[in-house]
Chains A and B, each alone.
Chain A
Amino acid sequence: MGEAAWRHEREEPKMERAQEPRLWSAQHAQDALLRRTELIISVVLRGGVFMSAGIILIGVVGFYARDFAGAGRGVDPRAYPRTLGAVLSGVAHGDPLAVIALGLLVLIATPVLRVAVSIVTFALERDWVYVAITALVLCILIVSFLLGAGGA
């Protein structure tokens, strides 16, 4: 409903810009760079989401398949790994709960990866103010991660 009309109207400002290249060029170049950053960040988020959802789904199917086959009898559903090492060795042994936990770790890592990638894309734009801002965010994240691991 109105999809075509919307597309049509959205294209108009672009045409206006093309007619006045001098007036728009600086702004336009900046927009194009921001657009690229947006697309890269979107791809990172989408990749992380698909990967984690896929891994979690494999773990869930594995868990219930084992459960229904009766092979899981006697396995404690509360015995799940809590560190990266335990998760990886659990996955290597084919433990479905460890597979789900791996998917959760990928999900948790996705926003952090997004911040790290943004530093690179802003650097490619030579947007040093935002390189500094994003790097500061990553530092705070790392500090809170380290403090959390040490305390609590």
Chain B
Amino acid sequence: MPSEPQLLFFLFVLGASLCAGLIGSLVGLGGGIFVVPLLTIGFGLPIRLAIGASIVSVIATSSGAAAAYVRDRLTNLRIGMFLEVATTLGALAGALLAAVAPTGLLYVVFGIVLLTSVVPLVLKLGEELPEHVQSDMLARRLRLEGSYPDRLQGTDVAYRVTRVPLGFALMCGAGLLSGLLGIGSGAFKVLAMDSAMKLPMKVSTTTSNFMIGVTAAASAGIYFERGDMDPLVAAPVALGVLAGATVGAKLLGRLSNVTIRKIFVPILLLVGIRMLIEGMAVFVTAHPH
């Protein structure tokens, strides 16, 4: 392979991954939604190498930004650790069921769930902080309530946590999704914490950011051994995303919850639409006519 096109590829992927890491770290996603189409449609790489690179992207976004988010007390550690039980269990079940699950149907169902969840998000688009939240029993028993320093309000904001069982169930779904389909689990995690458990938006995205690395690491070993993580593809993704996530983590404190939600909604739409398209594609290849 001649050197110059390869170096250009490296620099281009590096730049694009920087953007993916920046946006992903703000809204709690792993950036796979940007990295996979870039590599497959943009550069014609096989899908397995793109998915291997997107796993790298998820882990890099998570660790790169979480170091700062945890230090700055934005991430709720207890909520993250507790819900990781659900996501890792779900991911394990998903990996075991992958061979027998109706993939096309699942894509369509989850795609529709994501797209319909946009409606309540849009209705509360201007809401800076959730109000009148009463912690449920599990939240109190597990001490999930917390506070985070809000630079815009210039004070610590205390928050309560509700509907923990529903959040836990949704997190099982998010894990199942990443085990089965390999995409979209960050969007689901943010939704579960924001819409079900009523956490402040920034706490939801940073806690999702904290969790996605663990879910991805669970399956990363398999992809590595299969040879899906091509060093020359994964290297610019890892370096770009790490740089982008570091910048994103510095930026988040300066943005309001409303702004973060405004960035999250169009990306949620994108993830939902992409899942519908994937689902249709599976149906078309399964029933050719």
Contact = CB atoms under 8 A, between A and B. Distances in A.
Nearest to B62: A111
Contacts of A149: 221-222, 225
A37 to B, nearest CB: 7
Contacts of A34: 77
Interface residues of B, number: 58
Contacts of B222: 148-149, 152
Contact of B77 (A9, A41, A108, A109): A41
A60 B71 contact: no
Contacts of B235: 56, 59-60, 100, 103-104
Nearest to B175: A140
B84 interface: yes
Contacts of A143: 92
Contacts of B88: 137, 140-141, 144
9 contacts: A52-B238, A63-B232, A80-B231, A108-B220, A110-B59, A114-B213, A115-B214, A144-B88, A144-B219
B216 to A, nearest CB: 8
Interface of A: 2, 5-6, 9-10, 13, 34-35, 37-39, 41-43, 45-46, 48-49, 52-53, 56-57, 59-60, 63-64, 67-68, 77-78, 80, 82-83, 97, 100-101, 103-105, 107-112, 114-115, 118, 129-130, 133-134, 136-137, 140-141, 143-145, 147-149, 152
A80 B227 contact: yes
B66 interface: yes
A48 B63 contact: yes
* Interface class of chain A by DSSP: helix
Contacts of A108: 59, 217, 220-221, 224
A107 B60 contact: yes
Report which residue of A5, A57, A68, A133 has the largest number of chain B beta carbons within 10 angstroms of its beta carbon.
A133
A137 B84 contact: yes
Contact of B67 (A5, A45, A83, A107): A45
- The 8 A-B pairs at the shortest CB distance, nearest first, are namely A100-B231, A111-B213, A148-B222, A45-B67, A42-B71, A140-B88, A46-B67, A108-B220
A41 B210 CA distance: 11
Interface string B88-112: 1101100110000000000000000
A20 B77 CA distance: 27
A48 to B, nearest CB: 6
B156 A13 contact: yes
A149 B154 CA distance: 49
B68 to A, nearest CB: 8
Contacts of A53: 238-239, 242
B47 interface: no
Nearest to A122: B81
Nearest to B151: A6
Contacts of B238: 52-53, 56, 103-104, 107
B56 interface: yes
A89 B92 CA distance: 31
A90 to B, nearest CB: 10
A16 B91 CA distance: 45
Interface in B53-82: 56, 59-60, 62-64, 66-68, 70-71, 73, 77-78, 81-82
B63 A140 contact: no
Contacts of B230: 78, 80
A145 B91 CA distance: 11
Nearest to A39: B71
Contact of A144 (B3, B92, B155): B92
Nearest to A98: B231
Given A6-B154, A53-B242, A140 B81 contact: no
A64 B7 contact: yes
B149 interface: yes
B286 interface: no
B123 interface: no
